[in-house]
Chain A
Amino acid sequence: MRRVLPTYVGLICLLLMAPIVIVVILAFSGPGYLQFPPKTYSLHWFARFLGDPQWRASLWFSLIIGLIACVVATVAGFFAAYAFVRGSVRGKKLLLSLLLLPIIVPTVITSIAMYFLSARLHLVGNLVWVGVCHAVIALPVVLLILLSSLQGVDVNLERAALSLGAGHVRVFLRVVVPLAAPGIVSAALFAFLASFDELIISLFLTGVRTQTLPVRIWNSLHLEIEPTIAAVSAFLIGVTGLVLLIDGALRMRRRPAMKL
């Protein structure tokens, strides 16, 4: 038993990482037909990805939408998280579970409803609107991260600032925000990631000319798998890796706040 468990866990971990690692390796293979392990290695597929104006446009759309979603979700989520931690209101659990609904309700339903409304308002294909819609999906992520991060902020520091004559806004901006800063940055990063990787809402709400990266991957997987997809996927994996790396570094600096 003592050996069985680590072996089993090791095997599953291998299975968890293998697909991702293989895609990254494939992305670096030489031109021609994709095989594993690649016969030659090159940056050919990355050059194809970043050299193609359409892919570049998609990357650009994804970035813009992600930034809008990130800003909107982080600001709204931070206020709400602060209210949950410090405010006194009955039924906090119920209110929180309402705000988490966007990740519970099947995204297909949400997307169709959003599309139904957006079409009437002529907002389909509008990048800002797509970003705002993504923000709703990113909101639960921000909220959950900041709830646990704000719990690590000592309320006495706020009281001290107040008693020394600082106004509420000033306390908020000069005490709460700096103390919660690492958590806010993490939350913002994951909000960006949630939008950057979001597919179904984008599928319905982006027009033909404003396809995001996941939408283009989706279209390509449906029609004919072009090898460039491996490079685009590796790129998305790289973005995820970067976000996790920064989050890990930030987490070192706010030890007591989060537990895993």
Chain B
Amino acid sequence: MKPHRTTLLMLPAFAMLGCIFLAPLAWFFVHTLLIDSDPSDLRDQLVAVLASRAMLRAIVTTNWISLLVTVTVLLLGYPIAYYLANRRGFRFTLVVFCVIVPYFTSIIVRTYSWMVLLGREGLINQALRDLHLISDPLPLLYNQFSIVIGMTYVLLPYMVLTLFAAMKGIDRNLLLAARGMGASGPMIFRRVYLPLSRHGVISGALIVFILSIGFFITPALMGGPSDVMVAMLIERSVEITLDWPGAAVMSLFLLSVTLLLYAVYYRVTDVRRLMGTV
């Protein structure tokens, strides 16, 4: 087939994207903000919604949790990726297995499994009580701590796979050269390996942060009454207060931030690595 005719094969995918994804989004924003409500009120509405106490609190919470999750995921993920990049055979397969199985397990199931562990009558509290370490159950669930655990669990594979791809590309000869020149192990790591893997760190942190700020399922199930993230606020204004324009304004804000970060991600990394080239 001639190359330009081959390109036409992209049409079904783009038709799908356009009709079922982009068009509903555009229609939703246009309809709620420009048709259903008076366009001249738009500015006031933007200010009213974005500067509301609930929204400001949600923005702070969202950023704080996303930051905590990104850092935790990085600290946990870096050693795993490093290990994978330097191992072959059975151990490699075993660790990949442990990363991949949760990766492809339903998010709701993964969240539920941590609820089973952390709950008031959960397994951790049961175990601690059986060991007579505590008399009253610890409040492990329904707070920021549990949100961070749950989200870290869901997002860790993205980080590991991104870092692994970057580390696989590091030229071993550079490390050997550093050793040959007399650098110590820790020094090689700090001065050669870490800078060479920086690219992966940035890509991984970006993708985890992007996915974190829009997260809904895990914080909604594992968070306490005061831990409201932006995505949850959006869902509530549709489901509970039926405030469609408010939901649209908040969505527009969250979407803009997400797209902005995605643009940065697009610049610094190969988008084909998004799922980690499993």
Contact = CB atoms under 8 A, between A and B. Distances in A.
Interface of A: 1, 5-6, 8-9, 12-13, 16-20, 22-23, 26, 34-36, 72, 75-77, 79-80, 82-84, 86-89, 93, 95-110, 112-117, 132-133, 135-136, 139-141, 143-145, 147-148, 168, 171-172, 190, 193, 196-197, 199-200, 214, 217-218, 221-222, 225, 229-230, 233, 236-237, 240-241, 243-244, 258-260
Interface string B1-25: 1011011111111101100110111
Contacts of A22: 113, 116-117, 123
Contacts of B7: 83, 87-89
Contacts of B6: 82-83, 86-88
Nearest to B127: A36
Interface stretch (B51-59, B75-83, B175-183): B75-83
B9 A87 contact: yes
Interface stretch (B40-48, B196-204, B230-238): B230-238
B18 to A, nearest CB: 10
Closest A-B pairs by Cβ, 3 of them? A106-B214, A19-B113, A197-B106
Nearest to A33: B121
Contact of A17 (B4, B24, B102, B114): B102
A54 B230 CA distance: 33
B17 A99 contact: yes
Q: Which of B13, B111, B259 counts the most chain A CB atoms within 10 A?
A: B13
A75 B9 CA distance: 10
A83 B21 contact: no
Contacts of A1: 185-186
A79 B214 CA distance: 30
B190 interface: no
Interface string B108-126: 1111111111000001001
Contacts of A140: 274-275
12 contacts: A79-B12, A79-B13, A84-B10, A97-B266, A116-B27, A144-B277, A148-B277, A199-B106, A214-B108, A217-B108, A218-B108, A221-B108
A112 to B, nearest CB: 6
Contact of B116 (A23, A80, A136, A259): A23
A84 B79 CA distance: 34
Contacts of A114: 20, 24
B216 A236 contact: no
A233 B1 contact: no
A93 B95 CA distance: 31
A47 to B, nearest CB: 20
A22 B111 CA distance: 13
Interface of B: 1, 3-4, 6-14, 16-17, 20-21, 23-25, 27-29, 31-32, 76, 79-80, 82-83, 94-96, 98-102, 104-117, 123, 126, 153, 156, 164, 168, 185-186, 210-211, 213-217, 221, 231, 234-235, 238, 244, 247, 251, 254-255, 258-259, 262, 266, 271-272, 274-275, 277-278
A107 B114 CA distance: 22
A197 B112 CA distance: 13
Nearest to A158: B1
Contact of A237 (B27, B94, B105, B107): B105
Contacts of B266: 93, 97
Nearest to A260: B278
Given A23-B113, A244-B100, A107 B126 contact: no
Nearest to B100: A244
B9 A106 contact: no
A241 B271 CA distance: 27
Contacts of B27: 113, 116-117
Contacts of B109: 20, 23, 197, 217, 233, 236-237
Contacts of A259: 168, 277
B79 A9 contact: yes
B277 A112 contact: no
Contacts of A135: 16, 20
Q: Which of A80, A83, A259 counts the most chain B CB atoms within 10 A?
A: A83
Given A19-B153, A20-B102, A244-B101, A75 B12 contact: yes
A35 B117 CA distance: 11
Contacts of B231: 106, 108-109
Contacts of A96: 271-272
